[in-house]
Amino acid sequence: MARRRKRGRDITGILLLDKPTDMTSNKALQQAKFLYFAQKAGHTGALDPIATGVLPICFGEGTKFSHFLLNADKKYRVIAKMGQKTTTADREGEVVEEKPVNVTEEELVKVVQQFKGTISQVPSMYSALKKDGVPLYKLARQGIEVEREAREVTIHSIDIVRFESDEFELDVHCSKGTYIRNLVEDMGDELGCGAHVQELRRTAVSHLQLDDCVSLAQLETMKQADEKLAMDELLLPLEKALHHLPIVELDSDQAYYIRLGQAVQLSGMPQEEEFILKDPEGFLGIGCIDDDGKVAPRRLIKQTS
């Protein structure tokens, strides 16, 4: 039997999408894939439906490298409402507790300081984490609560952007796996009045910035105008999207063995665990140092004929 031909274009690159609010990350991914008529696509870490902002979409060979962005630091702008706790720790949940707000900006500054550095978070039941293959949020909607292990995350910085009588706005730079809803709720507990997320916007994934993102509405307008070339020009080359990693240059012979899956010895070996591999023709993929101290391939792009 003949193999079924894949539908769509075999395109490779990374699209910086500004995800709209009230849409799941998977739906945003599927819409972007449809607009580009792409064979293969994946995103680099889900945003909550209410959240907006940077959602890198990987097309084609880019899907091989999505976890490098998934594991990268993130930045967020969050607006928190004090005086109310909700079931989901954001505006979509039911209010379960209300308290008067008598918080000063000085008190907020002190609480913010407590959450900088390495902290422990227990993931919310309303998260995409899975228990026996079932997302926690689906269990929560059935009234089922399961035990979750605390995890350590790093808050690199928190800056207070705005403080009002019952609201505050923060810029947060954090490690992968940080739950901003949990952070806000924990801050509300420390302030003694409770708090939940009112608005959440991801402003950066590693070095990839919100200012460089495009919206689904913009893509739809371009597609309707048959501006396919302009749409393709929005896709970042994989090397640029992984620019936060150091680069190791290989000559043609070294690249030949790397493509065969073999490790090579280099002078001036890189100190980092992972790095970009390039040969005279361009981007090869991601490499690492093996147990023998040699440069080995970790993830390579498909060779074009």
Give the tens place of pLDDT for each residue, 200-212: 999 999 999 999 9
Least confident stretch, 3-12, 30-39, 70-79, 213-222: 3-12
Examine the domain organization and report whether 263 and 184 are in the same domain: no
Q: Domain limits at 135?
A: 74-205
- What is the C-alpha end-to-end distance of the chain, expressed in Å? 25
- Choose the catalytic residue: 10, 18, 22, 48: 48
**Total domains in the fold of the chain:** 3
Examine the domain organization and report whether 110 and 257 are in the same domain: no
Examine the domain organization and report whether 79 and 103 are in the same domain: yes
Task: Please give the pLDDT value at position 241.
Answer: 83
What is the rounded distance in angstroms from the CA atom of residue 202 to the CA atom of residue 172? 9
What is the rounded distance in angstroms from the CA atom of residue 52 to the CA atom of residue 76? 10
Task: Please give the pLDDT value at position 59.
Answer: 97
- CATH number for the domain harbouring residue 29: 3.30.2350.10
Q: Quick check: is 7 in a domain?
A: no
The mean pLDDT of 36-40, rounded to a whole number, is 96
Confidence of residue 19 (pLDDT cuts 50, 70, 90): very high
Give catalytic status of residue 48 as yes or no. Answer: yes
Task: Please give the pLDDT value at position 25.
Answer: 92
Task: Please give the pLDDT value at position 245.
Answer: 86
Task: Please give the pLDDT value at position 54.
Answer: 97
Examine the domain organization and report whether 85 and 187 are in the same domain: yes
Task: Please give the pLDDT value at position 117.
Answer: 98
Task: Please give the pLDDT value at position 148.
Answer: 86
Examine the domain organization and report whether 112 and 130 are in the same domain: yes
- CATH number for the domain harbouring residue 273: 2.30.130.10
Evaluate the CA torsion angle 26, 32, 36, 41 in order and state its sign. negative
Least confident stretch, 184-198, 260-274, 281-295: 260-274
SS3 assignment, position 26: helix
Q: Quick check: is 1 in a domain?
A: no
Tell me how far the alpha carbon of residue 2 is from its chain's centroid.
38
pLDDT at 199 over 60: yes
Examine the domain organization and report whether 160 and 279 are in the same domain: no
Q: Quick check: is 8 in a domain?
A: no
**213 DSSP β-pair partners:** none
E strands in 213-289 = 247-249, 274-279, 282-289
Task: Determine contact, residues 157/77, Cβ cutoff 8 Å.
Answer: no
Examine the domain organization and report whether 123 and 271 are in the same domain: no
Confidence of residue 134 (pLDDT cuts 50, 70, 90): confident
Least confident stretch, 135-144, 167-176, 206-215, 287-296: 135-144
Which of 21, 18, 25 is CA-nearest to residue 200? 21
Q: What is the dihedral of CA 31, 34, 39, 43, to 10 degrees?
A: -10
Examine the domain organization and report whether 150 and 172 are in the same domain: yes
Examine the domain organization and report whether 93 and 144 are in the same domain: yes
Examine the domain organization and report whether 22 and 90 are in the same domain: no
Q: Quick check: is 173 in a domain?
A: yes
Q: Quick check: is 175 in a domain?
A: yes
**Per-residue CA distances from 19 to 52, 54, 64, 111, 200 (Å):** 5, 7, 22, 30, 11
Confidence of residue 3 (pLDDT cuts 50, 70, 90): low
Task: Write out pLDDT tens, residues 156-187.
Answer: 999 999 999 999 999 999 999 999 999 999 99
Confidence of residue 193 (pLDDT cuts 50, 70, 90): very high
What is the rounded distance in angstroms from the CA atom of residue 45 to the CA atom of residue 178? 11
Q: Quick check: is 5 in a domain?
A: no
Examine the domain organization and report whether 94 and 150 are in the same domain: yes
Task: Please give the pLDDT value at position 145.
Answer: 84
Look up residue 214 and give its DSSP letter: B
Task: Please give the pLDDT value at position 305.
Answer: 52
What is the rounded distance in angstroms from the CA atom of residue 137 to the CA atom of residue 245? 34
pLDDT at 276 over 60: yes
Find the farthest-apart pair of alpha carbons in the chain and give their distance in angstroms, rounded.
72
Rg (CA), the chain: 22
Examine the domain organization and report whether 139 and 176 are in the same domain: yes
pLDDT at 127 over 80: no
Look up residue 65 and give its DSSP letter: G
Task: Please give the pLDDT value at position 36.
Answer: 97
**Per-residue CA distances from 15 to 33, 61, 229 (Å):** 10, 13, 14
